[in-house]
């Protein structure tokens, strides 16, 4: 059996299972910084650097209608768009460097329930 390059943490395993309950699937093997979830045309990225500190942070597509997000879920952000490498299904634009980088809305979910409600609002 092949060794996973970037194995999931216990929290990430729970988040992947919750995403599957909302019909989101891992679109590819998790990479060092992100897990890519897809449901139809909707993509969501889990920020793996933040889950190491028990923070559930996701990136939403910049064209996401933020009014659809549950207002009572205690979601943090968005404070505007943020650039990040590796959000391969999101659009790119120039930020400060010589080449364009992907960008999206960073959202913080206070707990697993809020993460589930966020995913439910996107389907």
pLDDT of res. 8:
83
Residue 34 has pLDDT above 50, yes or no: yes
Q: What does the pLDDT read at residue 1?
A: 41
Whether residue 3 has pLDDT greater than 60: no
pLDDT tens per residue, range 50-91: 888 888 889 998 888 888 777 766 677 666 778 888 888 888
Other Cβ atoms closer than 10 A to 49? 12
Domain spans, the chain: 10-122
Assigned CATH class of 10-122? alpha beta
The whole-angstrom separation of Cα 91 and Cα 75 is 23
Q: Write down the pLDDT at residue 38.
A: 92
Residue 37: is its pLDDT beyond 90? yes
């Amino acid at each position: 059996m092949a060794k996973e390059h970037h194995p999931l943490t216990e929290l990430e395993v729970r988040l992947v299972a919750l995403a599957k309950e909302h019909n989101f699937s891992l679109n590819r093997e998790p990479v060092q910084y992100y897990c890519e979830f897809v449901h139809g045309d909707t993509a969501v990225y889990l920020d793996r650097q933040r889950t190491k500190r028990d923070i559930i942070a996701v990136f939403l597509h910049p064209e996401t209608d933020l009014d659809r997000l549950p207002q009572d879920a205690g979601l943090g952000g968005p404070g505007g768009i943020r650039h990040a490498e590796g959000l391969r299904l999101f659009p790119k634009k120039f930020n400060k460097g010589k080449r364009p980088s992907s960008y999206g809305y960073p959202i913080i979910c206070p707990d697993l329930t809020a993460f589930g409600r966020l995913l439910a609002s996107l389907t």
